[in-house]
Copies of this chain bind each other. A is one copy, B any other.
Amino acid sequence: MAGNEIEKLIKIIAKLPSLGTRSSRRIVLQLLKKRESLFLPLIEAMGSVAENIKTCEICGNYDTTSPCSICGSNVREPHLLCVVQDVADLWAMERVSFFKGRYHVLGGVLSALDGIAPEDLNIESLLHRIKNENISEVILALPATVDGQITAHYLVSKLKDCAVKVTTLAQGITMGAELDYMDEGTLQLALNSRKLL
């Protein structure tokens, strides 16, 4: 096959999420084919991200500054805190541009299977922030999975003694969905949490 450098690059790219050896090979060939228009700009953009992006010491977001632009912003509601599993979820919330408070990235959810215990997550710093930043409401925006819900319950029990309102995202029928295509669990949940019109 080709030089060792190419083999090595294919192996590294194959480790990235949603990629395997075959797609990695296709990517490397594409990069070599489009050297000027794709490969060199990609290397430059990666270098710039690796050099400039930091983890925010307050919330765990990625940004060029620490504290990040959200934590450092003075137009954000300072007493409203949204707890998310990871930065991907923070970005998802930000794409909606609806939430005007600040975030706290847990760095995962509790999981017996994966051996993730409370001390592996940023829970201590969350409790610390709630006390010191005079937070009035904590919104738990955790995944609607078993592990996510267990984590939410754990956090509720931890926050019982703090004088803080704890809320969670509503669950129910997704927008634009046909009832026929919804799973039974979601239907039952939506029926249980029905709203008066």
Q: Which of A's residues lie within 8 Å of B, judged by CB?
A: 1-3, 5-6, 8-9, 12-13, 15-19, 23, 25-32, 35, 38-43, 45-50, 52-53, 55, 61-64, 68-69, 86-88, 91, 94-95
**Bound complex: CA of A55 vs CA of B6, how far in Å?**
13
With A3-B64, A46-B39 in contact, is A17–B23 under 8 Å at CB? yes
Residues on the B chain within 8 Å of A17, using CB: 23, 26-27, 30
- With beta carbons under 8 angstroms apart, the residue of B9, B30, B41, B52 that contacts A3 is B52
| Copies of this chain in its oligomeric complex | 2
Closest residue of B by beta carbon distance from A87: B29
**Bound complex: CA of A61 vs CA of B32, how far in Å?**
11
Residues on the B chain within 8 Å of A3, using CB: 52-53, 62-64, 69
